[in-house]
Amino acid sequence: MLMSVIEPELASSVYGELAGARVLITGLTASGGVDVARAFAEHKARLIVQTPDLSTELVELTAHLSEVACEVRLFDEPIENQESAIRLAQKSATAFGGFDVVINFITAQKAPISGDYDDLADYVSQTLLPATLVTRVAANRMRLMHTEGSILNVVSMPPPAGRREAGVATLVRATLSDLTRREAQAWADAGIRVNAIGPRSADGMGHCLASEPEIAALALYLASRKGRQLSGQVFDAENASLHC
C-alpha cells in the first residue's frame, strides 16, 4: 500500500538537497549495493564506503565513484562486533565531520538445513547483528551532532528453495520489522529516521521492489526531504532476493 503511494515519486527523481550529503554505505559488494552507491555519487554526495570484500570489481567501482561523487573514502575493515562498528563510525565522523545518511547492506548466508528454534534464532541474530550495531552507533553519532538523518538497512537472502526456507525468510522479515520499529521509536525525538528493505513474507501482497535500481530510487527518496515523514517502515523485496 505504501509503495503504491510513493511509487510515482521514485521515477527519475533528482534531489538537489543531497549534493554534498555525507553518506555511509556498509556491506557493499560487487553483487549488492552498486546501484545505490552510484545513485548517491551521481547526486554529488560525499561517500564513505565499507566493504567486506575488496575485490578487483570494488576497486574499479571506487575509482568510478571518485570521478562522479563529490568525495569518496573506502574502508575494508569488517564489522564483526560493537568495537568494529564504533571504529568505523569514528573514522567516518573524522573523515567528513559526521554523516547524514547511512545505508547498511546485509547479505544473509544460506539458512541452516536442520536445527531447532534456538539454531534459527541464532542464525537470524547473527544475520542482523552488523546492521544493528551500525544503526545504533550511527544514530547516536547523529544525535550528538544534531543531525536529522536517515538510516536504511537492506537485507537480502537467497530465493527460498522450499517451504522451510520460505519460513526462515519470513522469520528474518518479522525480526527485521520489529527491530526497525523499535529503533525508529528510540531515535525519533532526535529526528533520525530508520527504515528497512527485507525479504518478502510468504503472505506478502502489493508492490515489491524487484531490482537494485528500484532500491536505489527508494534509498534516495528516504534520504531526501520528501522522505522525512517515513520511519519505522519495512519495504518488501521480490523473492527474498535483492540481487537481480
DSSP-assigned letters across all residues of 48-70? EEE-S---HHHHHHHHHHHHHSS
- What pLDDT is attached to residue 11? 61
Instruction: Compare 221 and 97 and report the one with higher pLDDT.
Output: 221
Cell numbers at 141, concatenated:
553519532
| Measured distance CA(211)–CA(36) in Å, rounded | 11
What would the pLDDT profile of 136-168 be if each residue is shown by its tens digit? Answer: 989 999 999 999 999 999 998 877 777 877 888
The tens digit of pLDDT for each residue in 39-66 reads 999 999 999 999 988 888 888 999 999 9
CA triple 136-142-144, angle to 5 deg: 100
The pLDDT score that the predictor gives to residue 239 is: 47
CA distance 231 to 210: 21
| SS3 assignment, position 234 | strand
pLDDT at 241: 43
Query: What's the pLDDT score for residue 186?
Result: 97
Closest among 184, 102, 104, 190 to 151, alpha carbons compared: 102
Whether the predicted pLDDT of 217 surpasses 90: yes
Q: If DSSP states are collapsed to H, E and C, what string results for 147-200?
A: CCCEEEEEEECCCCCCHHHHHHHHHHHHHHHHHHHHHHHHHHHHCCEEEEEEEC
For residue 208, which amino acid is it?
A: C
Farthest-apart Cα atoms in the chain, separation: 50
Cα–Cα nearest to 131, from 34, 33, 218: 33
Q: With 90 as the cut, is the pLDDT of residue 207 above it?
A: no
pLDDT of residue 79: 81
pLDDT at 244 over 50: no
Q: Each residue of 67-115: pLDDT tens digit?
A: 999 999 998 888 877 788 888 888 887 888 888 999 999 988 777 766 6
